[in-house]
Amino acid sequence: METSAASTTAQSIPQSLRDAFAANDVSQFRTILSELPDSGKAAAWDALGCDAASEDKPVILALLLPHRPKDGFRPDVPPDGLLACVADSKSPRVCDVVIDAGLDITIPGSYEPDLLEHCIDGSDPTLVKHILSPQVQARTKARLANARYGDYHPAIVAARSPEMAQTLIDHGAELQGTGVLHRAARDGKLPLMECFLNAGVDVNENLGPEGEITGAPLHWAAYAGEMDAAKLLLARGAAKTAKDAQGRTPLDILRVDASQDESRSEWEKLLS
């Protein structure tokens, strides 16, 4: 019976090393790791490297990083999966260890975004604030202006919480023309809508971001059936007469969606 590469790697890690890792016993971990052959140290990285990052064990991560697989042409390329684990840790200390090891946090993995984009896609702004701090900005090429959500959207589009959105706004994120209020209205995210409105996004911004419809945020709230979002927009000055690229008002958009029949009278009263 053949043994898989993964199980071979797992079997080559001494249990004592795993125990020291689990206990976060740095002294014991360092001693055991130093006694392993190069192949054993590489196996230790494979088995424990990303876990050290995600579990916020920066000293152990620093001990393991020299034994990571390296790109012969770009030794500063982070191993696949590492940046996601750093983001999961929400730990500035782990982030600093990765930077200190000479890895470029702006280089995405094979199937993942770079570190800043990873963090913005979460809800905790702690690590985003750290990456955008003057100290880290001076040591890396990470820049908010270059961060993207998907292929081309500015990173602010990925903000899922008011705290994250406000952090990005405080660090100069561009809001106008991004459609962030449209998306928040479509998704019924009232606190996020409040954040964008308080930051100065035009409640009647009509730029036709990509999607099934164009128009103003009120169009998107009506189309999605998000009545509370529509009420908030109207309270903040949204125009019921706004028209999309096809000349339709929010009420016209509502009539396209037959699934809203049960609340149609309430919607019509709201938007008429």
Identify the CATH number of the domain in which residue 197 sits. 1.25.40.20
Q: What is the pLDDT of residue 260?
A: 55
For 1, 219, 233, the CA distances from 193, given in Å and listed in that order, are 59, 14, 9
Q: What is the pLDDT of residue 151?
A: 57
pLDDT digits (tens, 9 = 90+) for 203-235: 999 875 455 568 999 999 998 989 999 999 999
Q: Is position 245 within any domain?
A: yes
Q: What is the pLDDT of residue 256?
A: 58
> Phi-psi region for residue 153, left (φ > 0), alpha (ψ -120 to 50) or beta?
beta
Domain count, the chain: 1
- Alpha-carbon torsion 187, 146, 91, 39, what sign? positive
What are the φ and ψ backbone dihedral angles of 143, each rounded to 5 degrees? -140, 135
Q: Is position 260 within any domain?
A: yes
Q: Is position 87 within any domain?
A: no
pLDDT digits (tens, 9 = 90+) for 142-166: 888 777 666 557 788 888 899 999 9
For 118, 154, 163, 216, the CA distances from 150, given in Å and listed in that order, are 11, 9, 21, 22
Q: Is position 1 within any domain?
A: no
Q: Is position 9 within any domain?
A: no
Q: What is the pLDDT of residue 217?
A: 95
Mean pLDDT, to the nearest integer, of 166-180? 90
Q: What is the pLDDT of residue 237?
A: 97
Q: What is the pLDDT of residue 150?
A: 62
Q: What is the pLDDT of residue 71?
A: 75
Mean pLDDT, to the nearest integer, of 13-28? 97
- Using the predicted structure, report yes or no on whether residue 243 has a pLDDT greater than 50: yes
Q: What is the pLDDT of residue 155?
A: 81
- Using the predicted structure, report yes or no on whether residue 21 has a pLDDT greater than 80: yes
Q: What is the pLDDT of residue 10?
A: 47
Q: Is position 241 within any domain?
A: yes
Q: What is the pLDDT of residue 154?
A: 79
- Using the predicted structure, report yes or no on whether residue 26 has a pLDDT greater than 70: yes
Q: Identify the domain containing residue 186 by its residue range.
A: 174-272
Give me the percent of the chain exceeding a pLDDT of 90: 60
Amino acid at 69: P
- Of the spans 9-23, 34-48, 150-164, which averages the highest pLDDT? 34-48
Q: Is position 263 within any domain?
A: yes
Could you tell me if 93 and 129 are in contact, meaning their C-beta atoms sit under 8 angstroms apart? no
Q: Average pLDDT, whole number, for the chain?
A: 87
pLDDT digits (tens, 9 = 90+) for 43-96: 999 999 999 999 999 999 999 999 998 877 788 889 989 999 999 999 999 999
